[in-house]
Structure 1
């Protein structure tokens, strides 16, 4: 039987701030690794202040991305405390992960080459901005900038309207996922050969990875993608429509589903129109078909169309707000929503289960420097720790 904490016994040192590396550290920590988050002594991870909302003096964003970790707070430039952390990594760490600006870790004496000779089995993961080669490698990167630079934002929104970005930090969190995947692959290789090594990923590479299909389409056709709002470039109808009391997403992804959709909404005649008989025809004639469908769907409530589309077997969903999502029985059945050990904070758990068991939320995000004793660094003043905890 699989354990829900398969990384127990692995020690990770995370030099993470904001979202990307902390999300990778969160994944590894939830899977059982001992994750030590290294924060600068002057305020720590600045995501601690990214609010409101705040929970016990620290932003909720920081809380949810840094649970299942310990915190060590120190000045990496300080010879004594920096030296103790360096020794700790050499003696005890299995993985180092960071998303510091390019070259910063090397200047501080914590770059990957620093540890190669002493710890050839150490796995070192760089989470960069534009990558570790090329003319932009020195530039800092942020999720919205990479959504813009990569071309993603050029496709977002509706034609004729300003560009929009994906509301969540999809590139930051995507890089965290790729970092975790790379680290897990490197750990498997180490089990096989005994050797560690360097894992590299970046925000730009992550963004380009998300755009695998659009770039493939462009390179094949030479045509830049249009903004389709909630729709899809290559499938019609495959988007949101406005009903009388709300909005509903309808996905007729093939000709058979389109026939079922047309029948369900009382327009079977659409299936015999030569313009709409195939998906290619519907894509070509979307400007004609979509207003026809919208006019029909606007006449009744979302619940009415849900019932008919469910009976017809057409994929669909109401566009829900977060409160509606949390109230849905499917969310309760999945047990994704978890409570902190003190029952005061609720978060979404890791989207993984092992033999039906999801990793638990057992350790809340640490106060800055709460665990300095792990590397034998002088702890922060008690009053500062108390303030960070909310005491």
Structure 2
């Protein structure tokens, strides 16, 4: 497929972010066809280049997971000539993505929103930070683990008698990256009508709090905060992990009709007629009666026995996979869940594919995660610099 057929073909993105939230966003934009220029510090680059181990041939696996479909330009923004290059980049950019928490830094380096928009009124300026750029904590530094804790989500994760638990992958960062992508796509669409770009202000804190969407109205209606309940669901029963004779399985009974099928499938039709358990509301109210019954029943047979019976009855269920299990899962692989790229140092490597399946404009994987500064000369040439200029910029420490 021609790259010009991709949804974001012709869109230029300048990515001045590092670590995770911003790079997730720019990777998704790159997957959709945008030309992403990743601006990095000379010599050091994105802080995620140092996240590890594992490192392979000096390259961080963590960095490689987040930075395909980008070109790397090293730029010393502390120099006047480095700032001049950034200005040229921003003049042609459709999207500018940055994660400097303090607006004073924007002004210091000459790319405050007002100044950039004055020269390029159509630019979509997406600023990611821990707390946003308004409010009493504007400008404070933030990381994923802090957002998870302060958002309220960590207090709900873990066993009832245990401690709050961090979700094991960077949930707040990835969520913010997804919201940034949605916002940028919407802003590009709005620009089609108005001709004007706009400023997007995204915070890790608000993005992580958004995971509490289904809990907030209940709290305000009842005045009762939610409790930590482990693998159970606050408003659905049965909807949790059960230990079979050999290993655990997950069951999701989300409707009363599924409850009827579930009871037949596990050879307990009596439970479907029990007045304590007829409706979901009944089952939630009487979960302390129902759960021990189900726990004892599932413990009598192996997991495969129950999964076979539940799947035959079209009751949602599944085993608990480890990473090697899902990466070899037939359904996951049949859907193209993995992609492979060739890297100049690492060789061929696999990573998760983009999960969006387009019928006409599919995602493409055009560029390996770049080496630090790998495309500096190429990008400077596109901006109008001659070979002599580029040599001079290097000697001056600007790139």
Same fold (TM over 0.5): yes
Task: Give the Cα–Cα distance (whole angstroms) in 2 for the partners of residues 82 and 117 of structure 1.
Answer: 17
Q: 1:168 to 1:380 in 2, by over 3 A?
A: farther
Which position in structure 2 is the counterpart of 1:295? 296
Stretches of structure 1 that go unaligned for 5 or more consecutive residues are 386-391
Stretches of structure 2 that go unaligned for 5 or more consecutive residues are none
Task: Give the Cα–Cα distance (whole angstroms) in 2 for the partners of residues 262 and 316 of structure 1.
Answer: 14
- Runs of 4 or more consecutive aligned structure 1 residues displaced over 4 Å after TM superposition: 1-4, 376-381
| Residue range with higher mean Cα deviation, 28-37 or 227-236 | 227-236
Q: Do the aligned residues in 1 keep the contact of 2:249 with 2:303 (CA within 8 Å)?
A: yes
Which position in structure 1 is the counterpart of 2:166? 165
Q: CA-to-partner distance for each residue in 1:71-99, whole Å, 9 max, x for gaps? A: 11122111112212212212x11110011
TM-score by length of 1: 0.93
Q: CA-to-partner distance for each residue in 1:289-325, whole Å, 9 max, x for gaps? A: 1111011101111110011101222110111111111
Q: 1:4 to 1:164 in 2, by over 3 A?
A: farther
Are positions 1:51 and 2:52 aligned together? Answer: yes
Task: Give the Cα–Cα distance (whole angstroms) in 1 for the partners of residues 360 and 299 of structure 2.
Answer: 42
Task: Give the Cα–Cα distance (whole angstroms) in 1 for the partners of residues 233 and 362 of structure 2.
Answer: 33
**Secondary structure at the residue paired with 1:340?**
strand
**Secondary structure at the residue paired with 2:179?**
helix
**Secondary structure at the residue paired with 2:321?**
coil
Q: 1:310 to 1:88 in 2, by over 3 A?
A: closer
Are positions 1:231 and 2:207 aligned together? Answer: no
Task: Give the Cα–Cα distance (whole angstroms) in 1 for the partners of residues 195 and 139 of structure 2.
Answer: 33
Cα root mean square deviation, aligned: 2.0
**Secondary structure at the residue paired with 2:369?**
coil
Alpha-carbon offset, residue 55 of structure 1: 3.0
Which position in structure 2 is the counterpart of 1:389? none
Q: CA-to-partner distance for each residue in 1:29-50, whole Å, 9 max, x for gaps? A: 1111110111122411110111
| Residue range with higher mean Cα deviation, 208-217 or 233-242 | 208-217
Aligned residues between the structures: 381
Which position in structure 1 is the counterpart of 2:75? 74
Task: Give the Cα–Cα distance (whole angstroms) in 2 for the partners of residues 110 and 357 of structure 1.
Answer: 34
Task: Give the Cα–Cα distance (whole angstroms) in 1 for the partners of residues 268 and 33 of structure 2.
Answer: 55
Which position in structure 1 is the counterpart of 2:220? 219
**Secondary structure at the residue paired with 2:282?**
helix
Q: 1:273 to 1:325 in 2, by over 3 A?
A: same
Are positions 1:371 and 2:371 aligned together? Answer: no
Task: Give the Cα–Cα distance (whole angstroms) in 2 for the partners of residues 4 and 87 of structure 1.
Answer: 27
Which position in structure 1 is the counterpart of 2:351? 347
Task: Give the Cα–Cα distance (whole angstroms) in 1 for the partners of residues 183 and 357 of structure 2.
Answer: 20
Alpha-carbon offset, residue 357 of structure 1: 6.2
Task: Give the Cα–Cα distance (whole angstroms) in 2 for the partners of residues 66 and 175 of structure 1.
Answer: 16
Which position in structure 2 is the counterpart of 1:23? 24
Q: Do the aligned residues in 2 keep the contact of 1:7 with 1:33 (CA within 8 Å)?
A: yes
Q: 1:117 to 1:27 in 2, by over 3 A?
A: same
TM-score by length of 2: 0.91
**Secondary structure at the residue paired with 1:219?**
helix
Show the 5 A alignment for 1:197-216.
Answer: 197-216=198-217
Alpha-carbon offset, residue 278 of structure 1: 1.5
**Secondary structure at the residue paired with 1:263?**
helix
Which position in structure 2 is the counterpart of 1:361? 365
**Secondary structure at the residue paired with 1:341?**
strand
Q: 1:38 to 1:219 in 2, by over 3 A?
A: same
